[in-house]
Structure 1
Amino acid sequence: MLEFTHNPWMVVASFAVALSAGFSGLSLLRGASRLPVSQRKLLVAVAAIVLGGGIWSMHFVAMLGLQLPALFYYDGLTTLVSALAAILMVGLALLVLHFGRRCPANLTLAGCIMGTGIAGMHYIGMLGMELCAPVFSPSGVAVALAAALALSTLAVRAAYGSRSRLHILAGTLCFAAAVVSMHFIAMAGTQFRLADATQTAGPVLGNAVLAMVVALSSFIISGLALLSGVSFLAPGSDSAAAPDMEDTAPQAPAAPQPSAAPQPLPEPPASSLPVPYEREGSTHFAASAEIAAIRAEGHYTLLYAGKERHLCPWSITEAGRRLEPHRFIRVHRSYLVNPAFVSEFQRTKDTGVCFFRNTESLAKAPVSRSRLSQVREALGV
């Protein structure tokens, strides 16, 4: 077996590439779930290429720093397949995140798919080596795969637990740690032996050609990271003000101020706001004045208008931010109500209930204790 070492500067460079790719891909998708389906598909495809290409670039930056006492090169076709495997698996994980309900099970599923893609890319890329053949130990493969699955799941949960700047940065760090840790854990469980030259399935890639390809891909990824950083750091762009997932922490009731004069309600806007909803693979719009209530449904919301009920891509927090200027009131952490459709209000101890008229799709909505005074003021009771 051959002894090998790694150039420490190339190790640092590989981690920098993984960070750039993670930041570019995860920040690119911020707010994507509120876009029409066609635009969301395009963003998911671009992000999959960036993240999957980043995994591939990190691997081969590190492999350029691999120092073996023998010459070796790569099979071009196997190297290409390794890149495509990473892109496809990351793309599948992103489809789960942006076209499915973001529940804990789906977050874990997406993380495991991404981790499998990282591991698959590594081992397919290693099998492309010629003249020096890698020898994998079963325990090394198992530990490396476990690290990829665990850290990828942590990255997905960190980045998609909430779409704020802090969560995306945490997801970026976990993604880079997943890619780099998996690579070097796998390398620690790998040995190399001399092998006879064989007929390659594709063109031969020496280190010189590979270095140029990796330098180009790393340059593109770094450029995308810089472009993403411009909007990511722009004032007022923090999605923490309108997270994709509802904060379930209870809100303390506001302290009463009996001496303060009641504040008048804001004047309604001149026009109704179009609210998007999805039906049969297309995005439609309903006028906010025709909507009686909006209810949280996981990462999405449901619109109630007359006999109809529609799935809206907005989170309940995003819907509240957009619709409260249109006289909608937050009656519960999971409900927004249009007072124009409220036909009856009932007080039940420390909470309440709003009943609706001309809304067969929803009979009533609960009013939480912390929202009771605000709702009564809005209804004039």
Structure 2
Amino acid sequence: MEVLDATHNSFLVAMSFVVALVAGFTGLSLTRDLSHKPVLQKKVSIALAAIALGGGIWAMHFVAMLGLQLPILFYYDAAITLVSALTAILIVGGALILLHFAERTPRIITLAGGVVGVGILMMHYIGMAGLEMCRAVYTPAGIIASSVVAMGLCILAFWVAYGHRTNRNIVLGTLCFAVAVFSVHFLAMVGTNFVAAPSFAEFGPTMSNETLALGVIFFSFVIFGACLWVSVTYLVVPEVEQRPDTDPMPGQRVEPIARLQIPCERDGGKVFIAPDEVLFVRADGHYTQIYTKTERLFCVWPVTEATKRLLPAGFLQTHRSYLVNPRHVARFERTKDKGRCIFEGKDLPPAPVSRSKLKAIQDALASQVGAIGAS
């Protein structure tokens, strides 16, 4: 069969990259700070992020396909086109569930990036199967190159965006994601030839380029609107927490932080506890236990997350599994190479102090009036 000459509209090629960029930023931003949100809100945010990222992959592909110029008229199978969109959304959703409901280890981050790479590839080739009046013929080089790039860049994007959750890393992860989606499409297209196929597949209703354009334009505007919505959160200046009138611990740098609430569970419901109410935090597997003067509460934060958030708030890490609020320490006890922090309250256990931290914790607590009581 005669291979058709294929060219692309430069403007639509550029717009396809912009769509991928905006979708990546929207999806990765929607999943910020989910660790301390209620489970229902976390599920909704992940669902919206999956629609933004998966739908963005689909929109980028078909914006680029609108720019495809062939010497014959061609159409799309509407059912296959819909399946390609849903496939991308579901696969990306699965990757986000891994990232936010499993322990976020290096293996999980790598697996999630690989899953998204597979989603991009499946969306592309399912979408291409929906062509009517012409047929795509693939070369092994194009398939291999697009597959390697999809997996590699998506894993990189998720390592950047999820390795350390900062605004800067989310922006860099967005760029990697957009480059991944864009590169996969056009590397695959370079390795694709088109031939005329005069019959219709008749799997679903036939859709012209004009009809497809309306759907792509609508979805792209939804993504751009969502991008504006999440962008506002980057511009809000956080309210500064007023700390109690206590002197900073010797050698400890205490900076103002955004008003912080610790997510806990009480009687099956979600409650938020202010750091000042907390006596100490104890690691409990992949989660933590929060001790106040009157109760012990379950917290979804792992001890690493609690450490990252509470040390700037003035807490001390007395042991790899314990964080202590020095303002609530009644006294410090040291026996040879062991130590512990004692709290006032009924049935409150002491917080151990590891050998390597004995001197630092004792010096830090020395400025607390009445906190030192050697035994």
> What is the alpha-carbon distance in structure 2 between the residues aligned to residue 197 and residue 287 of structure 1?
67
> What is the alpha-carbon distance in structure 2 between the residues aligned to residue 184 and residue 226 of structure 1?
28
- The 1:191–1:68 alpha-carbon spacing in structure 2 relative to 1, beyond 3 Å, is same
Alignment of 1:77-116 (within 5 A): 77-116=79-118
> What is the alpha-carbon distance in structure 1 between the residues aligned to residue 144 and residue 270 of structure 2?
44
Q: Report deviation, 1:203.
A: 1.3
Q: Report deviation, 1:21.
A: 0.5
> What is the alpha-carbon distance in structure 2 between the residues aligned to residue 191 and residue 280 of structure 1?
62
Report what 2:78 is aligned to.
76
Q: Report deviation, 1:233.
A: 2.5
Q: Report deviation, 1:2.
A: 1.6
- The 1:156–1:77 alpha-carbon spacing in structure 2 relative to 1, beyond 3 Å, is same
Q: Report deviation, 1:222.
A: 1.0
Mapped contact 1:134–1:191 kept (Cα < 8 A): yes
- The 1:179–1:334 alpha-carbon spacing in structure 2 relative to 1, beyond 3 Å, is farther
Unaligned runs of 5+ in 1: 238-252, 257-262, 264-272
- Within the alignment, does 1:312 sit opposite 2:314 as a pair? no
Question: In the alignment, which of 119, 122, 128 is matched to residue 120 of structure 1?
Answer: 122
Q: CA offsets, 1:149-202, max 9 Å, x none?
A: 111111111111222110110011011011101111111111111113124221
Report what 2:352 is aligned to.
364
- The 1:177–1:2 alpha-carbon spacing in structure 2 relative to 1, beyond 3 Å, is same
Q: CA offsets, 1:334-358, max 9 Å, x none?
A: 6411454676533878xx7435574
- The 1:14–1:359 alpha-carbon spacing in structure 2 relative to 1, beyond 3 Å, is same
> What is the alpha-carbon distance in structure 2 between the residues aligned to residue 158 and residue 190 of structure 1?
31
Provide TM-score, normalisation by structure 1.
Answer: 0.79
Provide TM-score, normalisation by structure 2.
Answer: 0.80
Question: In the alignment, which of 155, 159, 173 is matched to residue 153 of structure 1?
Answer: 155
> What is the alpha-carbon distance in structure 2 between the residues aligned to residue 281 and residue 4 of structure 1?
60
Amino acid across the alignment from 1:233: L
Amino acid across the alignment from 1:195: A
Mapped contact 1:343–1:356 kept (Cα < 8 A): yes
Seq. identity, %: 43
Q: CA offsets, 1:36-66, max 9 Å, x none?
A: 1011001111111111111100000000111
> What is the alpha-carbon distance in structure 1 between the residues aligned to residue 276 and residue 148 of structure 2?
52
Q: Report deviation, 1:290.
A: 8.1
Unaligned runs of 5+ in 2: 240-249, 255-259
Amino acid across the alignment from 2:288: L
> What is the alpha-carbon distance in structure 2 between the residues aligned to residue 274 and residue 20 of structure 1?
30
- The 1:287–1:21 alpha-carbon spacing in structure 2 relative to 1, beyond 3 Å, is closer
Q: Secondary structure at the match of 1:71?
A: coil
> What is the alpha-carbon distance in structure 1 between the residues aligned to residue 268 and residue 122 of structure 2?
32
- Within the alignment, does 1:277 sit opposite 2:264 as a pair? yes
Q: Note the aligned Cα RMSD (angstroms).
A: 3.4
Report what 1:174 is aligned to.
176
- The 1:19–1:280 alpha-carbon spacing in structure 2 relative to 1, beyond 3 Å, is farther
Q: CA offsets, 1:235-269, max 9 Å, x none?
A: 339xxxxxxxxxxxxxxx9499xxxxxx9xxxxxx
- The 1:373–1:333 alpha-carbon spacing in structure 2 relative to 1, beyond 3 Å, is farther
> What is the alpha-carbon distance in structure 1 between the residues aligned to residue 155 and residue 70 of structure 2?
33
Report what 1:45 is aligned to.
47
- Within the alignment, does 1:380 sit opposite 2:367 as a pair? no
> What is the alpha-carbon distance in structure 2 between the residues aligned to residue 123 and residue 281 of structure 1?
45
Report what 1:15 is aligned to.
17
Q: Secondary structure at the match of 2:367?
A: helix
Q: Report deviation, 1:94.
A: 0.7
Report what 2:196 is aligned to.
194
Q: Secondary structure at the match of 2:136?
A: strand
- The 1:296–1:109 alpha-carbon spacing in structure 2 relative to 1, beyond 3 Å, is farther
Amino acid across the alignment from 1:114: V
- Within the alignment, does 1:293 sit opposite 2:280 as a pair? yes
Q: CA offsets, 1:266-318, max 9 Å, x none?
A: xxxxxxx97433599864667878865324679x6411549968343372246
- The 1:224–1:286 alpha-carbon spacing in structure 2 relative to 1, beyond 3 Å, is closer
Report what 1:303 is aligned to.
289
Q: Report deviation, 1:118.
A: 0.8
Report what 1:244 is aligned to.
none
Report what 1:337 is aligned to.
324
> What is the alpha-carbon distance in structure 1 between the residues aligned to residue 270 and residue 51 of structure 2?
26
Q: Report deviation, 1:126.
A: 0.4
Report what 1:346 is aligned to.
334
Residues paired across the two proteins, number: 345
Mapped contact 1:292–1:356 kept (Cα < 8 A): no
> What is the alpha-carbon distance in structure 1 between the residues aligned to residue 19 and residue 32 of structure 2?
20
Report what 2:257 is aligned to.
none
